Amino acid sequence: MSCDGPYDADSDCAKALERMFYFIDHELGDADVAEIQRHLDDCGPCLIKYDLERTVKALVARSCTEHAPETLRERVLISIRQVHLNITE
């Protein structure tokens, strides 16, 4: 993926995309939000990816009306965090 802005596609795009779901879910601090927002403002390919992920998330949210049991939800969240940690190590 190449950036349209003054970014190194291998590092800046990877960092932005790595935190994209946290950005979409409003789970980042102000400094990280500002950094990703600046990147999206300058990088067309990452903005397209962000728009796609945000749209898919909204569609899934509208389509899913059943709620998983809280214990299942907790196990899934723990598994997601573990996978994320393994990927970033």
Q: Please state the separation of Cα 5 from the chain's center in Å.
A: 20
| Residue 2 is assigned to a structural domain of this protein | no
pLDDT of residue 68: 80
Q: What angle do CA 69, 24, 16 make, to 5 degrees?
A: 125
Q: Encode pLDDT of 22-77 as tens digits.
A: 999 999 999 999 999 999 999 999 999 999 999 999 998 888 778 889 999 999 99
> What is the Cα–Cα distance from 5 to 43, expressed in whole angstroms?
5
Q: Encode pLDDT of 44-53 as tens digits.
A: 999 999 999 9
Extract the tokens encoding 61: 């949210």
**Domain limits at 47?**
9-88
pLDDT of residue 12: 84
pLDDT of residue 10: 62
The CATH number given to whatever domain includes residue 31 is 1.10.10
**C-alpha closest to that of 49 among 3, 10, 81, 88:** 3
> What is the Cα–Cα distance from 58 to 88, expressed in whole angstroms?
26
Into how many domains does the chain fold?
Answer: 1
